[in-house]
Amino acid sequence: VGFSLAFGDSIGGVIGNRIGADADDDDRCDSHYVRSTYYSTFERGREGRRYNWRNPHSGNYGYVRLEGTRRIRGQRCREFEQTIFIDGDRETATGVACRQRNGDWKIVS
């Protein structure tokens, strides 16, 4: 159970541009920390609360904050804002993730 899309494709380019298929080992490790944090946040997180991740190897870090919960076509969806810091550069984006029937979370916008 996790994300049904490649995470680089599902975060509206913020992570995709920085943590992609041609990434080095530290970047792939960042992706692991991000996936784990986002999954548990979407699954059990509370609105308005910030959930942090950090890669101790690369020094990259970030957080996701839940903004709301709603239903889209019968699926439970979580609105979120994320901020990431990669090589000292800050990037922020918003999105919506919906829980799929198989338990995966899919970023839909």
**Tens-digit pLDDT profile for residues 60-90:** 899 999 999 999 999 999 999 999 998 889 9
Question: What's the CA gap between 87 and 1, in Å, rounded?
Answer: 30
Q: Mean pLDDT over residues 45-71, rounded?
A: 93
Tell me what pLDDT residue 4 has: 42
Which pTM was predicted?
0.75
Exposure string for 75-90, b = 16+ CB within 10 A, e = fewer? eebbbbebbbebeeee
More confident residue, 20 or 98: 98
Answer yes or no: is pLDDT of 31 > 70: yes
Tell me what pLDDT residue 15 has: 47
Q: Mean pLDDT over residues 7-15, rounded?
A: 41
Which among 33, 52, 53, 41 is positioned nearest to 79, based on CA atoms?
Answer: 41
